[in-house]
Structure 1
Amino acid sequence: MAEQRGTGRDTAAAPEHFLVVFPGYHRSWAAWIAQCLERHGHRATQQRWDPPREVSLEDSLGDLLLSSGRVLLVLNDWFFELGPRPAGEWNDALRGFVAAHADRFAAVNLTNRPLLPATAVLEPASLWGLSEEGAEERLLSRLGLERRRTPRTLPTQLRYPETRAEIWGEIPRRNPRFTGRDDLLTDLHQRLSDAEQGAAACTLLGMSGIGKTQLAAEYAHRFSPDYDMVWWINSDDRNIQRDRFGELAVELDLRSGSEPGERIRAVRDALRRGDPHSRWLLIFDGWDDTEGIDVLLPQGPGHVLVTSRNRGWSEHTEVLEIPAFLRAESTAYLMRRAPHITADQADEVAVEFGDVPLPLVQAASWLGESGMEAPEYLRMVRERKLTTVDEPTTGEGFPQSSMTSWSILLNRLRRSQPQAIDVLSLSTSFAPGRIPLGLIRAYPQAELPEELRWMSSDLPAWTRALDTLVNYSVLTRETRGPAGAEMGPHQESVHMHRLVHDIVSKLTSEESRATHRKAVRSLLAEADPGNPVDTRNWPRYAELLPHLEPSGALDSTRARVQGAVLNCLRYCFRSGEYKGGLELAQQIRDRWSRNLEPLARPMLDLTTQESNILRASGRFRDAYELDNGVLERLRAAPQRQEQGELRTKAAMANSLLHLGRYEEAHTLQQEVLVGNDRLLGPNETATLIARHNLGVGLRLLGRYAEAYELDLETLSLRESVLRARHISTLNSGSAVVHDLRLLGRYRDALSRQEPVVRLHVQVLGPLHPQTLEARVQLALCRRREGGYTQDVGPSMASLLEQLGQLHGREHYRTLSFLTNYGNFLREHGDLSQARDLIAEAEAGYRALLGPAHPVATGMLTNTGLVMQAAGERAEAMSMFESAMAGLTATLGPDHPWVLGCALNAASARNFNGRISDAVELSRDTLRRARHSLGEEHPLTLSCQVALSADLRAAREQEEAGKLEEDGLLSLTRTLGAQHPHTISARQRTRPYWDFEPYLG
């Protein structure tokens, strides 16, 4: 006897087959329903259904019955708009054809809104508002199916459609009027699913207004059960894009600081590893500038979706071109939004607007909201009876009629809702895309013109105006912050399409635009946090930055607005956005030069920031020329600005250091320190910076002991004035360690740098640029100390990768570490990779600095060491001699870099049989080293051991033995018996010196 239904026991009942029929909009529900049926032992086939309007409903429904088994319809009010068709046609089909085949049809209902009366024949089971378990129970009950005690385990477990992804980041609200595009969405999903792991990226390409953003948002909602993390990134502006990408670090609970580059690298690494989520989807909306792809475009097990107008994306991802609507999609959308128009009228409107989605949306909004008949609307558009300004053109290939339709809308709003026009016009004084309109209510003290003050005081009017614009599809609402969190006014924003922004701007009077731009400038100034050094303020600066140009803030002569502009530029420098910072600095200079004197305080502040960014970008000569021009003007001015001169000299000294002109820089640095100390006092920030910079200069001059004493004093002052965890105090801590290491006090350096790095990580995060430099210093300390050989190699490889991600391979800081890592690899036997890295660094320095720069010259000795290790002794000697001669000419004979090159040159002379020349050079080098560095410096002792080797080769055994014995004793006493230098000397391995490039 067969078991009775409802016992909860597994049975041997024959499996049934179900055809799950759904509109594309409910793909996720259909997939979950099919999964439920399969888990309980049945077969399910999913069929997306949108019967063409020209085919009768009876025929379309009859086609469904060609399948075996029962047909399960996934219903809501959207289902009955397929086509779309009049309600009467659906009711007739349900009462007739469906009722006649009631045993073959079943249905579930996904809405709490009323359905057509005749839907009762389907006896739909309502799944609305149920938990997953409740929905499954009701589904099986409606179909009369038994529930298995142990459901089958399927390879992929889909998430219940009502349960969002664990991380759901600012995805635009689902458009309940989304129409068609089903084949495009299916194609897109297939492309991403079929792509190789790590290369699942696709770009939706098309002109403005074609519907790329709507398509991406619908994809995120429709296929959300496939993903555990979905993250939306507005990419119209580079700074906002980077900030938004970096916010994922917080959502993923990654250990990273607040610096954007640091967060980005942490996020990319987590996405690549698929930890904590391997099923992720990232959507970059409006990414037209392909620069920076290597930094932001992630790889890994997840999927990437880009929307763009730039065809250059075909070189980086798959591309899916987005065409205009199909005619059936155009008419379906129009008839759903404006049910009173006929199919023929919808077709005529679609032709008028070329099936382009954005103008069709506006036309449908107008027809639906106004109730106007289509012939009257088309007559107004064609005759332009309501146009009050010259019709604009967009260059986007839109029909002119779409422009006229905007004039019609604006004229209607001027009569019926003038406050909506105020909000709309004000929005065009921001940049298109995300617009922080919440600033109006967050900063009521901003200087708004009288006619706009209602915006900050009359909340109901404000809400009505926004609702009107949203209803007419002019703006969409957005919010900032975590899901579910209470939003402050400054987090409220709207989104305005670029094309809508362009059209409305041209349809707004010059008088209104000027008034509104002034209001926006005032809001931006009020919203300036006032401290771009504080990384917690960086998201706000990233949000303000795009709006400086369209609001006219760059042209403002108000001190408050100019201060906000400069703070945005300081943010670019502090956050590492050098390219954008240089572009902004040039824009500011172009505008301010029209109204400000070259020596006005804002212009001097601008020069300081621009110079900082130029140097950070590696453009040292440009920075020097910029500051030198200002200094000449300051000196020629009738009234002296001593503080301005000192600030400019300090910047010039920094540039001179990077240019290798160390003596000139040192002279200027002394002047700056003395002047700041006299004018400001010893504890002021500018004076402390001057002390620190003088230490850098002394270090580059090879005066390590002086640098150490000065840096110790600066560290003590900063600990007292700024406290131990201040970023500048941490920098001084690393400077002291650098001095100790160059003085050969490797153990002391290592013991001090380990806590310095820990503090850097705690305060700034592990990937902040200054933290990375501190970690570099620690790796070099460990290498020189000699007891960490097994750990140093992997640590240096990791650091090199992180520096390359932060700065790029051609940046001077990356080149320095390329060199240090190459020297380490050569020293430990990986000659092939060492040669490649040293060659890359040498070429990079020559391109950046020119061949005569001390650092570019010093690189020759590293190349020589690689050649010597490879047995190319003659070529190596040529490199050593060239490096020694070049550095002697620029730095003098007693500089430590020259002494190191001389040590290598003497070695090469010995290996090439020039023994007497080697002895002569080694003797002179030892004498100079003792004078410059002291008797027990590691380099001095290396020179002593080298001289003993040359003397042995010259058969002067007695002197050689005495020097060797004294050298070994000193090495044992200072470095320890097991230090690599001591062991090498004991084994009579010839000492060498590798060049460690440093620009300051």
Structure 2
Amino acid sequence: MAEQRSGGAADHGGRNGPEHVLVVFPGYHRPWATWVNQRLDAHGVRASLQRWDPPREVPLEDSLGDLLLARGQVLLVLDDWFFQLGPRASGEWNDVLRGFVAAHSERFAAVNLTNRPLLPATAVLEPVSLWGVGEEEAEARLLSRLGIDPRRAAGRRLPAGSLIRFPDTPPEIWGEIPRRNPRFTGRDDLLTELQARLMDAGRGNAACTLVGMSGIGKTQMAAEYAHRFSSDYDVVWWVSSDDRNVQRDRFGELATELGLTTGNEPGERIRAVREALRRGDPHSRWLVVFDGWDDTDGANVMLPQGPGHVLITSRNRGWGEFTDTLSIRGFDRAESTAYLMRRAPHITAPEADEVAAEFGDVPLQLVQAAAWLGESRMEVPEYLRMVREGRINAMDEPAGGDGIPNASLTSWSILINRLRRTQPQAIDVLSLCASFAPGRIPLGIVRAYPQADLPEDLRWMVTDLAAWSRALDTLVNFSVLSRESRGPVASGEMGPHQESVHMHRLVHDIVARLTDGEHRTAHRKAVRTLLAEADPGNPMDSRNWPRYAELLPHLEPSGALNSRNPRVQTAVLNCLRYCFRSAEYRAGIRLAERIRENWSTFMDPVSSEMQELTSQECSILRNYGRFRDAYQLDLALRTRLDEAETSDPLGSLRSDISIASDLRFLGQYQESERMQRDVVAESRRLLGENEFLTLVAGNNLGVALRVLGRYKEAYEQDIATLTRAESALGALHSQTLILGNNVAQDQRLLGQYREALARQEANVRVHVRIMGPQHLQTLYARAQLALCRRREGSFQQDLGATMASVLEQMQQVHGRDHYITLASINNYANYLREHGDLDHARELSREAEAGYRALLGPAHPVATGVLANTALVLQASGERADALAILEAALAGLTSSLGSDHPWVLGCALNTGAARNFNGRVHDAAELSRDTLRRARHTLGNEHPLTLSCQVALATDLRGLRETEEAGKLEEDALLTLTRTLGAQHPHTLSARQRNRPYWDFEANLG
């Protein structure tokens, strides 16, 4: 048969097959059509693609006749879906195939992509089956069907980068894409426009957001795009984004699939993934879909850039500030009626039109209507009468602010009433789902924890697997729920206890209304009991963070936040601890506020649970930069502890540790240090030297001493605490690693640059090995290493790129205005100024200055200190008068808050003396320089680099006053000491030898 058909084609198109082929396909099969097009091109046959969905009102014979206007062969890409285009009755297709197509059989050919039976009259097309065969065999069958000699273009090769993947070969990475909807209807023009926008966008800017109201079909369209254009990508990754924690966790999971070496902390993995996508390594053809991303806060931290494409679905039109946007509206009426008639074949076109009008062409509502009509076989007049005349007690109000017709509630009521009669266990599942949050629901925990105390009406879920599966199948068939796959699901290894489902937000709202009854209270209790059972119990372990991210959204809807069950309360606190440990600070703050709001109504304000809540909340607030809020919260708890009838020494100790930290961040350094000393003594008395809380208190004392400028005392404190931590906790514990960073910082501030560098290089190696290269703590260690290298002086070549990289990653984790990011901005600005990039340095210095002023207030020592760096940029730019004014103000402010002998004051005085000299006030400069040198020798010692800088500065001023003898002695002594302590080739030594005026950089450090 194939040989005979091949001969017929050759007769029409020539001995070597047709010169042109028109490939006609439904939009659903675009990947196959593009593959066919490429294979024909590779064999020297010109082909054209035509997406085909003939209007129902045009006679089928006319539409097919239009295809014959093209010369050459018409190749139809067939499956059972092809004959539902329109849709049309199968009889119409059979008639046309037997008549018109048979009369022009030499012009038509076909390939078949399904193993399901086609219409009987399809035999006239003699379709060759490409279903279930490999690429080579599929190509051979295609060429044979068209009468093309495979040797016709022997040796012709297409560029490797242009090769299209065989449609039956999935992308190398295919991550949790929703199953393709076999009933997906229309949207072909929108999908084509979306592809064009992404393909035409410049590198790094290929991001588009599908925006529209709930239920309009954004998610379905994104899923169809991923399937339809999968051959364009090597990586396709789906990120559910209804909840920020789930979003971050899911996006970070791509690190494993890309083979990236990283730890489990979400921010760390996100940075690694974004960097890999930006470079296009190991894959440059990637698509990442963020589904349901409504909150644009933090978009710049999450959105990947690079050679691939980003697709977002959202109700928020504010995405226009970040991406291209494509508005998604309801179906066209033709799409609505086509969908209804395919799903419910017994209804007529006018009836479908009436139903579509009733529901405003909103896809989600039409899905429900079509499911009901198709399953029940109810006639449309009866169905619409029930919808229009239905009474749902007090449920007649609109479903919400999304413009959903009132009729939808009635339609849902009909469905739920029917399920109550025919499948009551499906209603049990629905009611239970309504007690979770919308979106992803870890429903499998019902079966995973059979020991949980479930209400009687739900116990069948644990014992009757067949009923469980049947209920879920029913709800999926009626498009109420969709199953989600995760991890081993794709390989078929998932059991019912691991099953998750997805319930659309709008569906959740309607179902909650219509199933809210006598069982709701019991069901919410069951859900929070299950959440407590599913708590891994250790939020310190990053391997448990994906589970906590999954549980977190369901705490409030289930009533867990006002539960009096100790097990549930522990699970709630563990979720809060997870937010702190995983750096999900915004989510943690929101959760803590809601917990406090609920617990305050029934819980003792000084109970252990409330104390732990306050401790975690204040830690999160401090790390987020809300220092004053943390302080007020800590003070309130301390007051309650003091007023309580029963003393709580351990509770008071924990409270004091937190308050001392608050004071340090607020710039009250002396009070913080005094309180911290008392805390250390009390902790040793209550707990002993080596308990974790004592080690934390010792660490905090070292920090307090360091911000006070008492570097030698800080070093001695940190070394002693580090030694105890190594013994009690081990060398690889995170607290031990923090102390290692602190000791290296102390050494650097003491001027022991080589020792500090050697220690910090070792610290970073351990951080990378234990915590991963992009863990928050590792990033901080890397920032400290960059400062060590800058001070040591031997690693200047790549230092700027390193500091810029650390800054970028800090920004991704914390945002641009976080105090840790501001410190990196400040330090990088100092480096840029020193290396001549004054414009960029000015921009960053002003950003750091404004950021700290907004965060801390203008009187805070750090906010004052960064002014000195801004002044140095102005001075280097020739704006000497302005620089002097700023430095004089900064010196006065620092002296007022810290005293005259603090190293920050001494450094600012060094810069102010130089500014006075540059402005012609040499006598004033010399007077300030002499006083500063005296104080530096007293505070830091004769050999500290800052002291020696003060000595060189005074020599410069004395030369300006022609007091050359004293100037020479000071300069000679300073050079000898610099050479001995730092080395002859150190930048400080070389600069002093060249008689460059020394300066001091302010390193913003909140501790």
TM-score, normalised via structure 2 length: 0.95
Distance in structure 2 (CA, Å) of the matches to 1:826 and 1:182: 55
CA shift at 1:688, angstroms?
Answer: 0.7
Task: Specify whether residues 212 and 667 from structure 1 end up closer, same or farther in structure 2 by C-alpha distance, changes over 3 A only.
Answer: same
Matched-pair contact (CA < 8 Å) for 2:527–2:558? yes
Q: Which residues of 2 match residues 557-568 of structure 1 at below 5 A?
A: 557-568=564-575
Matched-pair contact (CA < 8 Å) for 1:750–1:778? yes
Q: Which residue of 2 aligns with 1:504?
A: 511
- Partner SS, residue 519 of structure 2: helix
Q: Which residues of 2 match residues 790-805 of structure 1 at below 5 A?
A: 790-805=797-812
Distance in structure 2 (CA, Å) of the matches to 1:176 and 1:466: 19
Q: Which residue of 2 aligns with 1:378?
A: 384
Task: Specify whether residues 928 and 423 from structure 1 end up closer, same or farther in structure 2 by C-alpha distance, changes over 3 A only.
Answer: same
Task: Specify whether residues 509 and 135 from structure 1 end up closer, same or farther in structure 2 by C-alpha distance, changes over 3 A only.
Answer: same
Q: Which residue of 2 aligns with 1:277?
A: 283
**For residues 157-193 of structure 1, what are the alpha-carbon distances to aligned partners after superposition, in whole Å with 9 as ceiling and x for unaligned?**
2111111111111111011111222222222222222
Does 2:825 match 1:818?
A: yes
The code of the aligned residue for 2:350 comes to: D
Q: Which residue of 2 aligns with 1:886?
A: 893
Distance in structure 2 (CA, Å) of the matches to 1:870 and 1:476: 63
Distance in structure 2 (CA, Å) of the matches to 1:813 and 1:903: 26
Does 2:139 match 1:136?
A: yes
The code of the aligned residue for 2:370 comes to: A
- Structure 2 unaligned blocks of 5 or more: 1-5
Q: Which residue of 2 aligns with 1:932?
A: 939
Distance in structure 2 (CA, Å) of the matches to 1:308 and 1:594: 36
The code of the aligned residue for 1:78 comes to: W
Distance in structure 2 (CA, Å) of the matches to 1:922 and 1:138: 90
**For residues 968-999 of structure 1, what are the alpha-carbon distances to aligned partners after superposition, in whole Å with 9 as ceiling and x for unaligned?**
33222221222222223333333332222211
Q: Which residues of 2 match residues 711-726 of structure 1 at below 5 A?
A: 711-726=718-733
TM-score, normalised via structure 1 length: 0.96
Moved more, 510-519 or 926-935: 926-935
CA shift at 1:873, angstroms?
Answer: 4.0
Distance in structure 2 (CA, Å) of the matches to 1:186 and 1:989: 65
Of 682, 689, 692, which residue of structure 1 is paired with 2:689?
682
Of 413, 430, 435, which residue of structure 2 is paired with 1:429?
435
Moved more, 429-438 or 58-67: 58-67
Task: Specify whether residues 860 and 80 from structure 1 end up closer, same or farther in structure 2 by C-alpha distance, changes over 3 A only.
Answer: closer
CA shift at 1:4, angstroms?
Answer: 11
Does 2:79 match 1:76?
A: yes
Distance in structure 2 (CA, Å) of the matches to 1:206 and 1:779: 47
Moved more, 852-861 or 948-957: 948-957
Q: Which residues of 2 match residues 508-527 of structure 1 at below 5 A?
A: 508-527=515-534
Matched-pair contact (CA < 8 Å) for 2:17–2:146? no
Task: Specify whether residues 447 and 953 from structure 1 end up closer, same or farther in structure 2 by C-alpha distance, changes over 3 A only.
Answer: same
The code of the aligned residue for 1:986 comes to: R
Matched-pair contact (CA < 8 Å) for 2:199–2:206? yes
The code of the aligned residue for 2:886 comes to: M
Q: Which residue of 1 aligns with 2:58?
A: 55
- Partner SS, residue 518 of structure 2: helix
CA shift at 1:565, angstroms?
Answer: 1.5
Distance in structure 2 (CA, Å) of the matches to 1:994 and 1:314: 41
Does 2:499 match 1:492?
A: yes
CA shift at 1:958, angstroms?
Answer: 4.3
Matched-pair contact (CA < 8 Å) for 2:16–2:148? no
CA shift at 1:500, angstroms?
Answer: 1.0
- Partner SS, residue 47 of structure 1: strand
Distance in structure 2 (CA, Å) of the matches to 1:868 and 1:98: 85
Of 265, 269, 275, which residue of structure 2 is paired with 1:263?
269
Moved more, 270-279 or 400-409: 270-279
Q: Which residue of 2 aligns with 1:21?
A: 24
Q: Which residues of 2 match residues 459-608 of structure 1 at below 5 A?
A: 459-481=465-487, 483-484=490-491, 486-487=493-494, 491-608=498-615
Distance in structure 2 (CA, Å) of the matches to 1:192 and 1:463: 40
Q: Which residue of 1 aligns with 2:755?
A: 748
Of 41, 44, 52, which residue of structure 2 is paired with 1:41?
44
Task: Specify whether residues 915 and 325 from structure 1 end up closer, same or farther in structure 2 by C-alpha distance, changes over 3 A only.
Answer: closer
Does 2:152 match 1:145?
A: no
CA shift at 1:737, angstroms?
Answer: 0.3
CA shift at 1:466, angstroms?
Answer: 0.6
Of 417, 435, 441, which residue of structure 2 is paired with 1:411?
417
Distance in structure 1 (CA, Å) of the matches to 2:897 and 2:980: 35
Q: Which residues of 2 match residues 855-934 of structure 1 at below 5 A?
A: 855-934=862-941
The code of the aligned residue for 1:322 comes to: I
Q: Which residue of 2 aligns with 1:119?
A: 122
CA shift at 1:663, angstroms?
Answer: 0.8
Matched-pair contact (CA < 8 Å) for 1:387–1:407? no
- Partner SS, residue 435 of structure 2: coil
Task: Specify whether residues 954 and 354 from structure 1 end up closer, same or farther in structure 2 by C-alpha distance, changes over 3 A only.
Answer: closer
Alignment RMSD (CA, Å): 2.3
Aligned length: 995
Of 959, 974, 995, which residue of structure 1 is paired with 2:1002?
995
Distance in structure 1 (CA, Å) of the matches to 2:892 and 2:392: 82
Distance in structure 2 (CA, Å) of the matches to 1:551 and 1:71: 59
The code of the aligned residue for 1:634 comes to: L
CA shift at 1:698, angstroms?
Answer: 0.7
Q: Percent identity?
A: 70
Matched-pair contact (CA < 8 Å) for 1:868–1:876? yes
The code of the aligned residue for 1:153 comes to: L
Distance in structure 1 (CA, Å) of the matches to 2:408 and 2:238: 29
Q: Which residues of 2 match residues 250-329 of structure 1 at below 5 A?
A: 250-329=256-335
Distance in structure 1 (CA, Å) of the matches to 2:918 and 2:362: 78
The code of the aligned residue for 2:710 comes to: R
CA shift at 1:956, angstroms?
Answer: 4.3
The code of the aligned residue for 2:480 comes to: V
**For residues 817-859 of structure 1, what are the alpha-carbon distances to aligned partners after superposition, in whole Å with 9 as ceiling and x for unaligned?**
2222222222233333323322222222222222221112222
Does 2:115 match 1:109?
A: no
Q: Which residue of 2 aligns with 1:734?
A: 741
The code of the aligned residue for 1:291 comes to: D
CA shift at 1:236, angstroms?
Answer: 1.0
**For residues 899-927 of structure 1, what are the alpha-carbon distances to aligned partners after superposition, in whole Å with 9 as ceiling and x for unaligned?**
22233333344444544444443333333
Distance in structure 2 (CA, Å) of the matches to 1:442 and 1:279: 39
Moved more, 544-553 or 325-334: 325-334
**For residues 608-641 of structure 1, what are the alpha-carbon distances to aligned partners after superposition, in whole Å with 9 as ceiling and x for unaligned?**
1221122112221121111112111211222112
Task: Specify whether residues 72 and 421 from structure 1 end up closer, same or farther in structure 2 by C-alpha distance, changes over 3 A only.
Answer: same
Matched-pair contact (CA < 8 Å) for 2:18–2:148? no
Matched-pair contact (CA < 8 Å) for 1:387–1:404? no
Q: Which residue of 2 aligns with 1:765?
A: 772
Q: Which residues of 2 match residues 216-235 of structure 1 at below 5 A?
A: 216-235=222-241
- Structure 1 unaligned blocks of 5 or more: none
Distance in structure 1 (CA, Å) of the matches to 2:332 and 2:707: 69
The code of the aligned residue for 1:126 comes to: S
CA shift at 1:670, angstroms?
Answer: 1.3
Distance in structure 2 (CA, Å) of the matches to 1:349 and 1:877: 77
Task: Specify whether residues 95 and 860 from structure 1 end up closer, same or farther in structure 2 by C-alpha distance, changes over 3 A only.
Answer: closer
Matched-pair contact (CA < 8 Å) for 1:470–1:476? yes
Matched-pair contact (CA < 8 Å) for 2:302–2:812? no
Matched-pair contact (CA < 8 Å) for 1:32–1:161? yes
Matched-pair contact (CA < 8 Å) for 2:180–2:224? yes
Matched-pair contact (CA < 8 Å) for 1:436–1:490? no
CA shift at 1:307, angstroms?
Answer: 1.4
Distance in structure 2 (CA, Å) of the matches to 1:184 and 1:863: 51
Q: Which residue of 1 aligns with 2:214?
A: 208
**For residues 472-512 of structure 1, what are the alpha-carbon distances to aligned partners after superposition, in whole Å with 9 as ceiling and x for unaligned?**
11111112115427335554211111111111100013322
Matched-pair contact (CA < 8 Å) for 1:392–1:503? no
The code of the aligned residue for 1:458 comes to: D
Of 57, 66, 69, which residue of structure 2 is paired with 1:66?
69
Matched-pair contact (CA < 8 Å) for 1:838–1:862? yes
Distance in structure 1 (CA, Å) of the matches to 2:223 and 2:172: 17
